[in-house]
Structure 1
Amino acid sequence: MRKNTSNFLISLCVILFSSLLQMSVSCSNNERDAEKVTIDNEITEITNITETSAVVSADLNSNGNENVLFRGICIGTQTNPTINDTKHQEQGNVLGLYTAKFENLPYNTKFYARPFITTNSKTIYGNEITFTTKNISVPTVSTLEVSSVTQNSAVFNGKIENDDSSKLLSKGFYFSKTNSKPEYKDQKIESNENFEFSNSVTDLEPNTIYYVRAFASNLAGTALGEVVSFKTTSFVLPTVSTTVATSILENTAVSGGVVLQEGSNPVTERGVCWDTAPNPTITYDRTKDGNGAGSFTSNLKSLKPFTQYYVRAYATSAAGTSYGQQIWVKTIGGDKPTVEASVSASKNTVYITVKVLKQGSDNITAINAKCFDMDGNNVGKLVSGSGWSNSNIYAPVTFEISGLSSKSKYYIVGSATNSLGTSTSEKIYITTL
C-alpha cells in the first residue's frame, strides 16, 4: 500500500511540473508575439533615387507602449544596418509617416535600409529594404572649330553630346602651343554656359599654332574632346607716306601724310614726327592728326629759325608704328653771329682780340681779324692766331698782324661766320708806336 502511494505522488509531481512548464513557455511566446504586434515600424517606399541620393519613407503605426525617444532610418552597404551606420532620426514619441533624404552617396552602390526606434534601454529595428544608386559614366564632349581668330585672341567652342543625366562639375578647354594633346597640365579655361559653350581667349602670340580641346567632368571622371588646332594671324603694320612740306616759315611748317593701308588692325593714331637728326620717331616731337586710313594735314610748330629738320609721317595700330619716307624742312630767317674786338699796338705790330657775343642761328664756321689803312686797304701780315674751338665758341681769339709802319694810323675789324653769312665788329682805330 505504501508503494502505491509513493508512485501516485511521483506521478502527480510530474504532471504538475509539466503543466507549469507549458504555462511558462506559453507566457514567453505570448510576450514576444505581443511585442511583434504592438510595435509596428516599417519602411514603406524608397523614391527619388539618383546617382548620389535617395529618399526613404517609413511609417511608425504603433510604438508598443514603449517610451520612444527617437525614431529614424539607418542605411549601410551591409545587411542589417544599425544606428552606428548612416542614419536620420527625429526626436519624440510621434506616430505616423516620416522620411529621410540621404545625400552624398556613392553611385552604383547597393544600400540596405531599416527603420528604428530608440527607447531608454534599447533600439528596436523594423523591416529591411534594399536600393541601389544609379550608375553614371563620363560625359561625351566635342571640340568644335575655333572661331574669331586674330593675332592675339580666339574663341573656343565645345558641345556636351551626352551628360549621362549626371550633374556636370566643370567644363571648358585645355590649350597649348607646345603640347599637341593638351591636358590638365596645360593652360585651362572653364565655361559657365550650358551644353553648347564658348570661351574667348586673349593674350595669345601672333603667327603661332595652338592646340585646343574641350573637357567635361562629372562624378565618374573627365572626358576630353578631340584636338583642334588653329594658327593666330600675323601682325601687319600700316602703310603710310609723307607729304612734301609747304608754308615753311621761321617757326612753323605744314606737312602731313596718307595712310594707304591700315594693315591687320585699325590705325588708332597718325601724324608726323620730326627732329634735327635723321629718321625721327614718335619718341620725338610729333603731331596727332586723327586715326584710320586716308590723308591728313600736320602743322609743325615751335621750330627754330634757319634750322634743318627731318620729317616723317607715322601711323600706329595694335600691330605697331610704321613710318613714311623721310623729307627735310629748313626754316627761314635766322641771325648771323655778333662779335666785338679789342686791339693793342707796338711799333710795327697790332694785337687783335675777337670775342663772339652771340652765335646766331647756326654754328660758327670761322673767326677772323683784319687790319686796314686809312684808305681802306687790307694791310699787314697775319703772323698767328690762337684759334678757336666749337666746344667753346665764346672763348676770346687773339690774332697778331705785323709788317705795319710805325707812328701810322690804322683801323681793325673782327669777324665771325655761320651759314647765314659773316658779321663784323665795329671799326677800332689805333696808331702804331
Structure 2
Amino acid sequence: MKRLQYIIWCSLLLFVASCEKDTEPTNFAPVPVTGETSGITRFEATLSGTVTPHPDSPQGQKHSIYFLISSMSSKLLEKVDTIAGTRKAENEYTLTLKDLKPGTTYYYSIESSSGHNAVRGTIKEFTTLSTDDPSVTLSLTGKTENSISVSGIVTDEGGATIQARGFVYKLYSEGSNDPTLADGTTVTGESGENGSFVGVIKENILPETAYIIRAYATNNDHKTGYSQSITVTTNQLQVPSLTTGDASDLTAYSAMLHATFLSDNGFEVTERGFCYSAESQTPTIDHPRVRSELEGNDFTASVSGLEPSKTYYYRAYAINEKGAGYGETKEFTLPEVQTLTLSSPKVSNVTTNGATITSSVNLPSGASILEKGICYSTSVLQPTIEGEHIIDPSEGNNISVELKDLIEGRQYYVCAYAISRDGTFYSVPAEFSTVQTALAEVSNITLGDIDISSAALSAKITKDGGTEILEKGFCYSLNTEMPTIDNTLAVDPSEGMSINATLTGLEEGKAYYVRAYATNKNGTAYSNAVTFTTVQHYKPAVEGLAEIEVNDDNATMEARLTDNGGMSITECGFCWDNSSAEPDITRHKKVIATLKDGVFQAQLTGLAYNTSYHVRAYAVNGKGVGYSAYVIIKTGSSAKATIADMTAGNPTPSTLDVSATVSADGGAEITERGFVYSSKGTPSVEECEKKIVMKGTVGEMSATLTGLTGYTNYSIRAYAVNKNGTAYSNTATARTKKTDPSIDDPAFPGTRTIKKK
C-alpha cells in the first residue's frame, strides 16, 4: 500500500510539473529489465536486473536503481521492501537477500527513479528451500550390565539450527516400535569430538536386558529427526556366587548361620554375611543382615535378638562393585525360652572393704546352668556381667560369693546371675554400704569485724567423724561461690573443735565467698558458704545542685552531699565554665564552700553579663573528687543608674537648695549618691572635691549647699554610683546672691537650669 501511495505521489508530481512552464530538461525513462534469481537457499537468494538508459537522455542524468521485494503481494502492493541494488557491470545490478524464511515465495522487481518519475521492470518470483527433519547417525560405544554408552552425529541440520539432541530408548520386545520422544526415555547428548554428541544410558537399565535405542536431533523449526534404531543387550551381572549352609546352635534368641563362598566373578568382594527375615522368604541386604569375616571360603555369623519359637528365612550374600550376589534361601525355627529365676541377693558380713553375697537359682525342666555368680557396681543400679563380677565355681543351684577389696564407706549394688542356653538371667538388685569412718561436720560461719583488707571469722567442728582432725581453717575466693581447700586458705593451727582466723590482705570493696573446713583421713568437710564484702571508700556523691540567685555578674548556688564515700570531706564547693559542659576544679574556676548539715552554698563571682555557664558542685575526699550533674545558668545585665529632675534654686549669698530624683538603679545596687558642684566648670565626682553624699538609693533626694561664695555662678549635678560606674543628672546652674543685697544685678535676675544636649 505504501508503494502504491508512492507511485500516485510521483504521478501527481509529474502532472503538476507538466502544467508548469517547460523550464526543465525533458526526462527520458530508462528501460529496467528484471533478471533471474540465483543462489537460492533456505535463507538467501541473489536477485539480478538491468537498467538501460534512454538514448535521448541528457548527458549526466542520474537515476536511483533499487529492487522491490515482498512476500505478501504478487503485485508488490503491500509490505514491500525497497533495497538499493549493487552495480555489477554497466547497466547490470544485483542484490543478495539474507535472513529469508525457508519454504517462502517472494516477489520482486527492479526499478529506476530519476526523482521525477519511476520505471519498474516485470515482477518475478522465487521460493526459498524448505526445512527438513535433521539427519542423525547412531553408534554404540560401550555397555556394562547396567549402562549403555552411545554417540551420535547430526549429518544434516535440516536447514535450521539444532536446538536439542540426544538419545531416546525403551525396553525391547518383539514387534515393538522404534522409541520416540513421546513414548521413550530420553538422555541429553553432551558435545563430543568433530561435532558428535555422546551419552550414557543408566536410568532403569537392568543386566541381561535388551533395549532399543535411537539418536535424535530437533532444530529451531521444531522438526525432529531420528537415526536408525539399534538393539543392545546389557551384560550379565558379575556379582559374587555362593551357597547357603544350615543353621546351628539354636537358642530361643539366636542361631549360628553357615555358608560357602564360591567365586567373586572377577571383582573384589567388599562385604559378605547373611540377610534374614521372618516375613520375606527371599530376604535381601535391605532386610536385617549380619556381616562375617572376608577370609576363607567357609564363613559363619551369629544372629541374635530374635524371637523365640519363630521361623526365620535367611540367605548368604556377598557384595562386589557389580552388586550383591545371594545363595539359596533356607530357614530355621527357634525353640522356646529356657528361663532361669534367681532369688534376691542376701548381704552379710559387711566390713570396711568386704561383704558376703548369697542367692539361689530355680531351674526349669531340661535346663542347665552354664555359669553363675555375683555382679556388683558402685554406680550401676542393676549391674551385669559386662561390669565387675565374680564367678561361683561350685556345683548346684546355690550361689555364695565373698566380695573383697571394696572401698570403705561406699555404697554397692549387687545382682546374682546365672547363664543358660538361652542367655543370662539376673536377680533383682540389692544394695549395701561398706563401713566407713565419717567426714567431720562443721557449723556455719560467724562473721566478726570486717575492714578494708581484713575479716575476722569463727566456726566450730560439731563432729570429727570419729577420727583425728588433720587440718582446719577457712577457704575463700573472689570468684568461686563454693571455695575449697584448692583456693586460698587461712589455717587455724590451734587444737580443739573451734575454728578462728582473720583473713588479711583482702582487696578493698570486694565480695568474698568463704567456707570453714575440717580435714580428717576421710577427706575434707565444709560449712555452708557465706559471703561478705570488705569496706570500700569511694569518691563523694553530690546531688541537688540548684541556683539560689543569679545576677548579672554573680550567682549563688547550693548543693547537697549525699555520700561522703566513707571518708572525711576535705573540700567542697562549685566550679564553672562558659564553654565546657563538665567543668572541673583543675582547669576551671571554682569557689570553696562550707559544708553544714550535708548542705553547702557559695557565691560565684566575676561572671560576665548575659552569659551562659555550666556549673557543677563538687566534694573532695581521700579517693578523689565527686561531681554533681551540671546545671546551666545565665547571667543578666545591668547599667548605670538614671537621674532626672535636677534643679537648683533659693539662692542666698552662701547657700543653694538642690534636688533630683534617682529614677532607676540600672539593675545594680546604688552604693553612693548625692550632688557635686563647682564654680569652675562642669563638676564630677572624680575631679571635684565639693560634693554632698546623700543616703538612700532610688528616689528623690534634696540638699542645701552651704559655704558658697556670694554672687558666684555654680554648676551642680546629681550623681549615683553602682558597680557599672557613676551616673550624672543634667547640669543645673545658679548664682548666689550678693553679700550686699542693695546692689542689683540685672545680668542675673534669678537662677536657671542648663539641660544636657
- TM bin, normalised by shorter chain, reads 0.3 to 0.5
Bigger Cα Rg: 2
Instruction: Between the two structures, name the one with larger relative contact order (CA 8 Å, sep ≥ 6).
Output: 1
Instruction: Give TM-score, length-normalised by structure 2.
Output: 0.29
Instruction: Indicate the structure with greater helix content.
Output: 1
